[in-house]
Chain A
Amino acid sequence: MSIGKWPRLVYVLAAVSALAWSSACGAATPTPTATPRPAPTPTTAPAATATPTPAPRTTPTAGPAATATPTAVATATPTAAPKPTATATPAPSAKRGGALRWVKPTSIHDLDVLQSNTGGDLEKMGPIYDGLVVIEPDRTISPAQAKSWEVSADGKTVTFRLEQGVQFHDGTPFNAAAVKNDLQWKLNADNKYEQRSAIQTIASIDTPDEYTVKLNMTTADALIIPFMAVRPGFVFSPTARDTVSKTDRQLNPVGAGSFKVKKVVVDSYLELEKWDKGFSHGKYPYVDSFRILFIVDPAVRLASYRAGDADIFMATALDREQLKNERATVIYERYATTVATLFLNPRFPPLDNVKVRKAMSMSIDRNALIQGTLFGQATPLNGFIGPAWPWAWDPNYKGNGYDMAGAKALMKEAGYANGFTLEKVTWARGEERQPIMTLMADQFRELKIDAKLEIGLSNQSSRLFRIDKSTSSYYTLWGSGVPDLDSVPRDHFYSQAASFMYKDFLDPAVTQKIDGLLDQGRTTPVTEPAKRAKIYRDAQALIDEHAMAIFLFQEKEFTIYRNYVKDYAEHPSGGTSQWFKVWLDK
């Protein structure tokens, strides 16, 4: 049938226009608005919340879903010196079986604890190794592969008693000899273990019997036990380490954790299956399998959760906005114990000029960054101490905070009124980081600094900056996985750390003073928060006086999961959570 006298083209154009208009208006995801929202009031880590909404199709409940129970609140107050607690017994109502599905935005780079140094890999490798101890959400320490420990009166000796009958995934016995072997490998400078600075207070290791490991340290160290909950305490099978090549270990790690690797499909998923010969002797884990899905696109991540293809995922601020009314959903939020930082390498002139570094820090409007990219879900920082450590944080601390006029004056004083080009400004891949980097570069342009941004793999970017020192600056969320405040300044501002940049650029008296403060902070018991707070504030002031880095903000982190996921215990610093305790009530 013919249309009539109107030219066909008119109808076609009208139809295409309508389609284009509807696709533009019907965008799947809302974009961040430019309207500023009030910055969140700094508090201790907030409680998890959930509100009822229409039930997602995949949940078995009929009718309106029950309100999800908020999970445990992570407190920020320092705890007493860590003591071994009784081994937790499984909740009597916990159901066994099922497959837990966790969505992550990035693929695996390296599961070999002896080589890997990225936070993303730490979260994924945690279930494969478990650790000698685990950190609870309230920051107390609980036993894991070590069933108990004692600290000598002078704090210089820590004795771990290991669980017996534990095996690595390749059948090698997990015992004191294996732990000693592993720690000695990590302490050996020739092996270039990146976390060596975390455990370098260990002078020697004894094994008085098959299941006892004694760490003899050069000085009392408040963090040695918490570090046994993360990478330094993740023990790799000595048999596999010595027989499997470095490259093969990357995707075929052999730990003694509650889960072992079943299958790795790079860029798609990591599948773990339960391991009955872990420290819990079969009590844990509850789930039969644990699949970690890598979904790069944030819209698809959200969709997979909504579609019921994922049980739990680490959400962005935007996801939180969209899911805050989602039914049968728990939103767990807390302040990260990492600090968004742009580290500066003085080997790249004029970053060797303290006035230039200060000016760069003062040119950044942190509130604008947070409102523009994080929906206000972060607190601006002018130093490295943030609200995750309320016992040390001073919300009125000025440091090298935003002051554009002051920044321009400093640039003029430094002789760079016309700006300069800054090459190799790097950061690790992450979709929320691109807008942050772009906004920062825009703000640097106010000082006529042309920052050349380079994106990279997190492992590569980190290594290039910290170890090779071959890039001018590196943006990251920095923290070592241990929730103590010390983990933020130590790796970059302690002169003995591999990533210390300022050896040839600072007065030795200054570096000595910073070292002294950090040593003091580390050896002062956590039961003396006021004393530690003063120490770290002094270190913060000294670091900021020399503008050794640009501290930006401390963001909130969100984990969103279905209410049938039980006993999920968020690691207080986003490191490895206790996946072995999780069970599925469906």
Chain B
Amino acid sequence: MKRFIMRRLMSFLPTVFIVTVLVYAMALLAPGGDPVSYMLGDSADPELVEHFRKELRLDDPVYVQYGHWIGGVLTGDLGYSIRTNEKMTSVLRSRMAVTLELATGALVVALLIALPIGIYSAARPNSIGDNVGTVFAIAGAALPPFWLGVMLIYVFAVRLGWLPSQGFVPFAEDPVLNLKGMILPMIMTGATGAANLTRQTRSAMLEVLRQDYIRTAYSKGLAEGRVLLRHSLKNAMIPVITVLGLTVARLLGGTAITEIIFGLPGLGQMAVQSAIVRDIPAIQALLVVFAGTVLTVNLLVDVAYGILDPRIRYA
């Protein structure tokens, strides 16, 4: 298993390197060639322009610039946001917590929805339950997340008054208020991811349920639940986990809309605001974080394959 993980890590590192090169190159692709002028405007205060040129080391050769930048990334110095003048490292730390909580919760919601429905649909193909599940899956993919978010607020906050309409309270400050404030955002983000997972789970389970050993299990008199959960699910999970890895990437991107609607101070909202004002240092820092997260999740997905199916780790 250790060797398997090491092999995966060896391929992970070059990928990360290429991503950082591409992220850094984004600054060099700014119209007009000078990223500072692009960020601040053609006639910005010369003092400010000079300040940011020095910050970004734009007078050095490209490879030296990259070296300084990646050195900063590795030592935790991701520069300053031009929009807010905050140090990116501390901003990312505080905002990452919000986005991670949202993405994790959304993933849990997605799994809580997808797995039961997918398993049931596979166990009862062509039934009413199966069709309802299919409708749900298609609707979940088709409905605009924005609309869903506003509807959730309208029903649960305005009409029923059960949950707050927006805002964020840190978990450390008040866990109960934190969770209450995150439920609707998690549902909004998770529901869209659940659709795809539901279909994938159903499809994978159907494949497994057709196997001879499942028939054998039934003929031995095992209860349906035991057959489904103990004998079928694990084997069906491999393709599901693949989709899960992709879902995480989508969830991270999807948090932007959720954070804007619910007023959550997360990475997604920051990415949108930074893009609008061309805050390149902030965008670079955010891209590194997002890319790193997605790559890490995919690495974990690979490792999970090995755990689920020993045949893979020795391949």
Contact B43 A107 (CB under 8 A): no
A265 and B164 in contact, given A12-B131, A457-B277 (Cβ under 8 angstroms): no
A396 at the interface (CB under 8 A from B): no
Select one of A1, A19, A251, A468 contacting B43, CB under 8 A.
A468
A309 at the interface (CB under 8 A from B): yes
| 13 extra A-B contacts, CB within 8 A, seeds A3-B127, A12-B135, A19-B139 | A2-B126, A16-B135, A28-B154, A58-B161, A109-B83, A192-B45, A295-B166, A300-B150, A300-B261, A304-B165, A307-B161, A307-B165, A308-B161
Residues of A within 8 A of B150 (CB): 28, 297, 299-300, 303
Chain A 5-17 interface mask (CB, 8 Å, partner B; 1/0): 0001001100110
A456 at the interface (CB under 8 A from B): yes
Could you jot down 21 A-B contacts, CB within 8 Å? A11-B131, A107-B273, A192-B45, A250-B84, A251-B84, A266-B86, A269-B167, A293-B263, A300-B166, A300-B262, A303-B166, A304-B157, A304-B166, A308-B161, A457-B83, A464-B41, A468-B41, A468-B43, A468-B44, A469-B43, A470-B43
Contact A267 B164 (CB under 8 A): no
Which residues of chain A from 247 to 270 have any CB-CB distance to chain B below 8 Å in the complex? 247-248, 250-251, 265-269
Contact B261 A268 (CB under 8 A): no
Q: How far is the CA of A186 from the CA of B168 in the complex (A)?
A: 38
Contact A268 B131 (CB under 8 A): no
Residue with the highest number of chain B CB atoms closer than 10 Å, among A297, A455, A470: A297
Closest chain B CB from A311 CB (angstroms): 13
Chain A, residue nearest B151 (CB): A28
Chain A 449-486 interface mask (CB, 8 Å, partner B; 1/0): 00000011100100110001110000000000000000
Select one of A28, A268, A463, A464 contacting B263, CB under 8 A.
A268
Contact B128 A1 (CB under 8 A): yes
Q: How far is the CA of A12 from the CA of B153 in the complex (A)?
A: 28
Select one of A1, A269, A306, A460 contacting B277, CB under 8 A.
A460
A251 and B86 in contact, given A307-B157, A309-B164, A464-B43 (Cβ under 8 angstroms): yes
Contact B264 A306 (CB under 8 A): no
Closest chain A CB from B49 CB (angstroms): 11
Chain B, residue nearest A2 (CB): B126
Closest chain B CB from A24 CB (angstroms): 10
Residues of B within 8 A of A107 (CB): 273
B269 at the interface (CB under 8 A from A): yes
Q: How far is the CA of A15 from the CA of B161 in the complex (A)?
A: 30
A294 and B263 in contact, given A57-B161, A247-B85, A268-B167 (Cβ under 8 angstroms): yes
Chain B 151-162 interface mask (CB, 8 Å, partner A; 1/0): 101100110010
A309 and B143 in contact, given A12-B135, A303-B150 (Cβ under 8 angstroms): no
Residue with the highest number of chain B CB atoms closer than 10 Å, among A23, A299, A309: A309
Q: How far is the CA of A469 from the CA of B44 in the complex (A)?
A: 10
Residue with the highest number of chain B CB atoms closer than 10 Å, among A20, A457, A469: A457
A537 at the interface (CB under 8 A from B): no
Residues of B within 8 A of A11 (CB): 131
Residues of A within 8 A of B151 (CB): 28
Q: How far is the CA of A2 from the CA of B129 in the complex (A)?
A: 10
Residues of A within 8 A of B127 (CB): 1-3
Contact A247 B80 (CB under 8 A): yes
B270 at the interface (CB under 8 A from A): yes
A296 at the interface (CB under 8 A from B): yes
B260 at the interface (CB under 8 A from A): yes
Contact A268 B85 (CB under 8 A): no
How many pairs of A and B residues are in contact by the CB < 8 Å rule?
Answer: 127
Residues of B within 8 A of A412 (CB): none
Which residues of chain A from 307 to 343 have any CB-CB distance to chain B below 8 Å in the complex? 307-309
A196 at the interface (CB under 8 A from B): no
Residues of B within 8 A of A268 (CB): 167-168, 263-265
Q: How large is the interface on A (under 10, 10 to 19, 20 to 34, 35 or more residues)?
A: 35 or more
B138 at the interface (CB under 8 A from A): yes
Q: How large is the interface on B (under 10, 10 to 19, 20 to 34, 35 or more residues)?
A: 35 or more
Q: How far is the CA of A503 from the CA of B289 in the complex (A)?
A: 49
B314 at the interface (CB under 8 A from A): no
**Which B residues fall within an 8 A CB radius of A?**
41-45, 80, 83-86, 126-128, 131, 134-135, 138-139, 142-143, 147, 150-151, 153-154, 157-158, 161, 164-168, 260-265, 269-270, 273, 276-277
Residues of A within 8 A of B164 (CB): 307, 309
**Which A residues fall within an 8 A CB radius of B?**
1-3, 8, 11-12, 15-16, 19-20, 23, 28, 57-58, 107, 109, 192, 247-248, 250-251, 265-269, 293-297, 299-300, 303-304, 306-309, 429, 455-457, 460, 463-464, 468-470
Residues of A within 8 A of B161 (CB): 57-58, 307-308
Residues of A within 8 A of B166 (CB): 293, 295, 300, 303-304, 309
Chain B, residue nearest A251 (CB): B84
Contact A16 B261 (CB under 8 A): no
Residues of B within 8 A of A456 (CB): 276-277
Q: How far is the CA of A23 from the CA of B139 in the complex (A)?
A: 11
Residues of B within 8 A of A109 (CB): 83
Closest chain B CB from A329 CB (angstroms): 14
A23 and B143 in contact, given A300-B166, A304-B165 (Cβ under 8 angstroms): yes
Q: How far is the CA of A28 from the CA of B165 in the complex (A)?
A: 14
Residues of A within 8 A of B269 (CB): 267
Select one of B42, B80, B83, B126 contacting A3, CB under 8 A.
B126
Residues of B within 8 A of A28 (CB): 147, 150-151, 154
Residues of B within 8 A of A429 (CB): 276
Q: How far is the CA of A57 from the CA of B44 in the complex (A)?
A: 51
Residues of A within 8 A of B42 (CB): 468, 470
Residues of A within 8 A of B158 (CB): 303, 306-307
A265 and B153 in contact, given A57-B161, A293-B166, A468-B43 (Cβ under 8 angstroms): no
A8 and B157 in contact, given A250-B84, A293-B263, A300-B150 (Cβ under 8 angstroms): no
Contact A16 B138 (CB under 8 A): yes
Closest chain A CB from B56 CB (angstroms): 15
Select one of B134, B157, B265 contacting A265, CB under 8 A.
B265
Closest chain A CB from B125 CB (angstroms): 9
Select one of B86, B147, B260, B265 contacting A296, CB under 8 A.
B260
A15 and B135 in contact, given A268-B265, A307-B161, A464-B43 (Cβ under 8 angstroms): yes
Chain B, residue nearest A57 (CB): B161
Closest chain B CB from A243 CB (angstroms): 16
Q: How far is the CA of A266 from the CA of B80 in the complex (A)?
A: 14
